[in-house]
Structure 1
Amino acid sequence: MKFSKETFRISLILILSAILNFANLGIEGYANAYYAAGVKSMTMSWKNFFFVSFDPTSFVSIDKPPLGFWIQALSAKQFGFSGWSILLPEALAGVISVAVIYYIVKRSFGSIAGLISALCLAVTPVFVAVSRNNTCDNLLVLTLLLASWALSIAAEKGKLKYLLLSLAIVGIGFNIKMLQAYMVIPAIYLTYLLSTAVPMKKRLTHLIMGTVVLLVVSFSWAIVVDLIPAASRPYVGSSTNNSEIELIIGHNGLERLGIGSSSTGGGGGNLTGITPPASENSSGQGMERGTPPTGFGQQMDGGAAPTGLGQGGQAPAGKANGGGGGSMGGSEPSSITRLFSNNSLSDQIIWLFPLAIFGFIAAAIKEKLKIALDNRRKSDLIQWSMWLVPAFVYFSFTTGLFHPYYLTMLAPPIAALVGIGVVAMWELYKEGGWKSWILPGALIVDGLVQLLILSYYYETSSIAKILMIILSILCFVSSILLIIANLKKNGNTRLKKILVATALVGLLITPTVWSATTMFYPMSGTFPSAGLSLISSSSKGNSTTTTSSSNSKLIEFLTRHKTTEKYILVTSSTSGDAADIIIKTGESVMTWGFFGTDKAITLAQFQELVSIGEVRYVMVGGQGGGSSNDIMTWAAKVGTIVPASEWKDATDTTKTTDTASTAIINEKPTDANSQQVGGFGGENSGQLYDLKAYADSIAKK
């Protein structure tokens, strides 16, 4: 088999992607502990596996659909449960996505366009960060890329089976991240509707049939779960009425669009009627789901800021006020400039966005793009642009709940349009005339945007200064020489190619450096992101993962005293130490969902569990609460306080824990160095109560 230059080039790009995604992956630990605990539970029984249970006894489920976690659980079963085994599918999905986008773009626009697109995707910071995390977003990206491939064929040939395949794959994506998968729906429907391969009437019929397939595949698992009696399955985490359909519409639907009120009102801080001992810090009020946390960039969870709240857990190093949007991207001021501003979003995705826009314009001019799409190049242009534009508008203007790492959804269309556009701009440049100015203009504009983003780090990072110099030399000097050559009608094509390649390399260096930081510095498991803030956070000694000894004394105490209890501990929310205990012991911890507000059990039902010996220890205080306040109030009333010296590590007041809970804590700080987060792991820890004496008194009656 002949090893062509093209094969060699794409192999190098795939190797680069693999290095960025896999190198030193172990530093991420279990990444998102909430999801990791769920995967651990899923490996313990088929019931847990099917229902995506957070805990080993299937009390409450993860608030996401199953497919991504099924894949992680199968990986953990095959290779043994570890941080590496649950991150493997995501890292692999990232590399495969690079190969798929190369194939799709090459199919319509040639190998050079495909290679550039693959390289751009491989080095996009947020894409690399998410590839090294267990949030499942890049499994979704891979799925949607496969749907785009099928759509390209469907639009070109008018083949119903490929349209049905495309929409079925999107439905599969729905079972990875729910409505996030539907971000490509405008691209699919408009592209096929405008194609001319078959008559309009047939196109409409095909789309109606495809819609049926989409909905059936999308909602199949959710409907099955809702049809199963509630007593035979876990409570649907983060739903208001124990329904997957409600979860889809509510927390994972309307709240993401900023429509309607919080589906599960936040609980937190002190629980009603409960006053922790005077020695305990009882700050750390909760908040409603969808409300952005204040104090972004402040230290959290026992004094350390988890890295990766958009940018390593802190505001960009150069941001004067040290603020920012934090973990909720929708909390950044909404405007067309949101993704370019000095905040938690811009340095993750926007590096090549201007080049993609100019690239689309150039390709549209070159292809003489009209409403009627009579070839696959035009269809693919519409497909990529209609993936990019609606997603860009959403992330720019939504006030709903989204995290910065969701921006990985923008990575494929930006990468594709850069590859397509650079080739198109080069062709127009060679033709001369006014169109020849698009290429150098695009390179300069993109370079200026990159300088803007780098300027946010100028005061605090020498790396940013070096990158600004390199960018200026490679991009701007090359672009100026291209302009001079154009003015002089210089016919040296080889020299012009070298200048274009040099300018493009200059534009790719900074996102590559941003992405490479993830190989040396651990990210926040909850909010993965790449960039110089990871270095800044590490230099300040901020930890991003829970140390192995953080809960050692609590775990040792609980396991030593466990007899016949079904639940080794009861606590309000799934976050923090609850996840840590499940990961480390495989024992079940009863919680009322991610926010601690799920109506998963009544007080009477809880009292019955206590009386029959299935529950003994309850952690009261910390975060969570909501509808469970009556349970915690009752537990504190009838329980016996366990002295903190028996279960709390000596380092508990300084430990750091990176958990999903940090996303929803509304801090009330007075000093940036004294921020705490609710939850029983840090200074805001709750109080452990023993209910055995109460159970024994009931048994004697």
Structure 2
Amino acid sequence: MTQTAEPPVLPRGHRAALVVLLLATAALYCWDLGASGWANAYYSAAAQAGSQDWSALLFAATDPAGGITVDKTPAAVWLMGLSVRVFGLSAWSVLLPQALAGVGSVWLLHNTVRRWSGPTAGLIAGVVLAVTPVAALMFRFNNPDALLVLLLIAGAYCTVRAVEHASPKWIVLAGAAVGFGFLTKMMQAFLVLPAFAVVYLVAAPTTVGRRIAHLGAAAGAMIVAGGWWVLLAELLPSGSRPYIGGSQTDSVLELALGYNGIGRLDGDEVGSVGGGAGWGQPGWARLFGGEMGDGIAWLLPAALIVLGGGLWLTRRAPRTDTTRAALLLWGLWLLVSGAVFSLMAGIIHGYYTVALAPAVAALVGIGTVTAWRRRREPAAAAVLAAATAVTAVQAALLLGQVPDWVPWLRAFVLFGGLGAAALLAVAPLAPKAYAGAVAVGALVLALAAPAAYSLATAAQPHSGALPSPGPATTGGLRFAGGLLGAPTPGEEVVEALRADAAGYRWAAAVVGSNNAAGYQLAAGVPVLAVGGFNGTDPAPTLDEFVQLVADGRIHWFISGSTMRGETGSDAAQRIAEWVAQHHTPTTVDGVTLYDLSR
């Protein structure tokens, strides 16, 4: 169907259902939110720093004295830092912005899908997003992915509004949303650009020339929205801002194009500690099993089936048909992002797949409603039956990875889903009431396993740099100290760091940002992260560190272990060796400290 008018007001029943959905989502994402403590202490320390110093907030420095930034652009830290400024430092205030981003994402996805596909499709999409396990994980965690998802859905909403009337204003806003996405997680935000551009070019009701011109304006808005901070960081001299963490040359452009850009695709990441090992070898199967499958694959096959079926059913529709445009929008989002995540050879983590969750959810909502409306056609009935059957099998396979967790659920969703698929196959011959009951039953069975998995995810704390979804038997990875987690120092160490801290720029220095974060969050004093996240950044160099010690800017050096790659600067290692050669160690509560003031 072609639809350009404003969607009708939601019926009372749908409004009530939406309110229930949002309240349930808020409960899932906010319940016992502080149980994860500092979650990813790396970003929690940056939020703490930003709450104390405006310059540290602007650049997302990991300490309030502005030594080095996080290895991402700063937008997510801005929200956390402002939350800490308002509510004070706590695990709850750090994690709250991500939970609210999750509720906002569900609401905005519902509104986006509803405009072209109706309220039922919007509600289904919202429910699927809310109960996707990787979403339940990341909207309760403080990595930048939560804000990125919200901004990308906002870009999709603006694209939908733009297509309806060939509106340059709305397509420019879509470009701005992607630009702010870049300020959240750099080039990952650009993976949705093919979807936005193709849909506008294909479906906007105006001439080709105007469509191209409008997209050019949107590209300009994206560059401005995402580029102003990059320009500021590049133009300011290095002494006037923190070192750009994750780069070898103190450059945001190097960070965006190298370590967080092309290096993620080809694996050539200078300063990293390794590629995608642990998340499956590059290939199309990566998304469907293992940790990535736990997070996103429950309804991924169904989304692909209804995408193909929906495009077939709308193959003869006019160019501006909004149902086909919706399938193209979310389908290209899923296919492009999914291909990149499947084939990239550099660092990749399972939680990245939260960026696929809105597309999967939207396609399930749009595709199933589109096929249901035409269920008396054999092709549409086959799409519904195939999607239901494949979902049942996929859920059984994923649940088979944790056979000791709720063992009856596997048989329930498998045999129930296959039975519902068989009934859907004959839906064209059935009375409307009977067919409707079967459809509701099939939807419940399809959502049962991911919903249970999401509840299990929310029921346990997650900490460290690499959280993962699921029940306790496969839950969030926890690491003590080093690269992937932050240490929890004892009271004697905390008292030592706080002693005379006001007389120094940094109360202490330690190799690795996660190590620094643990001490800084515990003691509430600035701790310099030597070498940045991986300990491979030349920040500071040995000469610069020696000068800082000579100038009395650092009180303690803390001995600590960290993982380190084979590439990047060895300045942090040389600094640790220099300290050991020139200063006397003392052990406090099992931690080796060097008093640099002596």
Q: Tell me how far 1:518 sits from its aligned partner.
A: 2.8
> C-alpha separation between the residues in 2 aligned to 1:605 and 1:432?
73
Q: Distance in 1 between matches of 2:331 and 2:351?
A: 21
Quote how far apart the aligned CAs of 1:100 are. 0.8
* 1:434 shift after superposition: 4.2
Whether the 8 Å CA contact 2:46–2:63 is kept in 1: the answer is yes
Matched, 1:467 2:406: no
Separation in 2, partners of 1:586, 1:434: 63
Q: In structure 2, do the counterparts of structure 1 residues 413 and 291 end up closer, same or farther at CA, with 3 Å as the change threshold?
A: closer
Q: 3-state DSSP class of the match of 2:205?
A: coil
Aligned-partner Cα distance in 2 for 1:495–1:402: 46
2:528 aligns to what?
A: 590
Q: CA separation in 2, counterparts of 1:448 and 1:161?
A: 45
Q: 1:114 Cα shift?
A: 0.8
1:632 maps onto 2:576 in alignment: yes
Provide the C-alpha distance between the structure 1 equivalents of 2:42 and 2:439, rounded to a whole number of angstroms. Answer: 46
Which amino acid in 2 is paired with 1:640? T
Note the C-alpha offset of 1:485.
Answer: 5.4
Query: 3-state SS of the aligned residue for 2:195?
Result: helix
Q: Are 2:508 and 2:556, in contact at CA under 8 Å, matched by a contact in 1?
A: yes
1:196, distance to aligned residue in structure 2 (A): 4.6
Considering only aligned residues, what root-mean-square deviation do their CA atoms show, in Å? 2.4
Tell whether 2:448 aligns with 1:522: no
- Give matches, 1:119-518, under 5 Å: 119-259=127-267, 261-264=268-271, 288-292=272-276, 325=278, 329=279, 332-341=280-289, 343-368=290-315, 373-429=319-375, 431-458=376-403, 461-463=404-406, 465-484=407-426, 486=428, 489-490=429-430, 492-518=431-457
CA contact (8 A) 1:475 1:504 kept: no
CA-CA distance at 1:520 after TM superposition: 2.0
Structure 2 counterpart SS, 1:251: helix
Letter of the 1:67 counterpart: A
Whether the 8 Å contact between 1:50 and 1:66 is mirrored in structure 2 is yes
Question: Size of the alignment, in residue pairs?
Answer: 582
Which residue of 99, 117, 133 maps to 1:91?
99
Q: Normalized per residue, which structure has more helix? A: 2
Residues 538-570 of structure 1 show CA distances to partners (whole Å, capped at 9, x for unaligned) of: 9x9998998996433322233236572322112
Note the alpha carbon deviations across 1:168-204, whole angstroms, 9 max, x for none. 1110111111111111111011111212511112222
1:689 to 583, 594, 598: 594
Per the alignment, residue 4 of structure 2 pairs with none
Partner letter of residue 298 of structure 2?
Answer: W
Q: Aligned to 1:81, what secondary structure does the other structure show?
A: coil
> What corresponds to 2:3 in structure 1?
none
Aligned residue for 1:128, secondary structure, equals: helix
* 1:14 counterpart residue number: 22
Kept in 2: contact 1:98–1:121 (CA 8 A): yes
- Closer, same or farther: CA 541–211 of 1 in aligned 2, 3 Å: closer
The reply to whether residue 73 of structure 1 matches residue 76 of structure 2 is no
Q: Counterpart amino acid of 2:301?
A: P
Matching residue within 46, 49, 55 for 1:41? 49
CA distance in 2, matches of 1:590, 1:433: 65
Counterpart secondary structure, 2:297: helix
Letter in 1 for 2:345: T
The 8 Å contact of residues 32 and 135 in structure 1, kept in 2 or not, is answered as yes
**By how many angstroms is 1:477 displaced?**
2.1
- TM-aligned CA deviation for residue 443 of structure 1: 0.8
Which stretch has the larger CA shift, 214-223 or 107-116? 214-223
TM-score, L = length of structure 1: 0.79
Secondary structure in structure 1 of the residue aligned to 2:454: helix
Question: SS state of the match for residue 558, structure 2?
Answer: strand
Change (3 A) 1:2 1:157: closer
Aligned to 1:344, the other structure's residue is in SS state helix
- Structure 2: how far apart are the matches of 1:475 and 1:403? 30
Describe the shift of the 1:360–1:239 C-alpha distance in structure 2 as closer, same or farther (beyond 3 A): same
Distance in 1, Cα, partners of 2:247 & 2:486: 32
Deviations 1:123-176 (A, max 9, x none): 000011100001121211111111111111212211111111110111011111
Which digits, 9 at most, give the CA deviation of each residue in 1:292-319, with x for residues without a partner?
Answer: 56xxxxxxxxxxxxxxxxxxxxxxxxxx
Counterpart residue type for residue 691 of structure 1: L
Distance 1:224 1:689 in 2: 37
Mark the runs of 5 or more structure 2 residues left unpaired by the alignment: 1-8
Distance in 2, Cα, partners of 1:500 & 1:113: 13
Letter in 1 for 2:579: A
Tell me, in whole angstroms, the C-alpha distance in 2 between the residues paired with 1:50 and 1:90. Answer: 19
* Contact residue 369 and residue 378 of structure 1 kept, 8 A: no
Higher RCO (CA-CA < 8 Å; seq separation 6+): 1
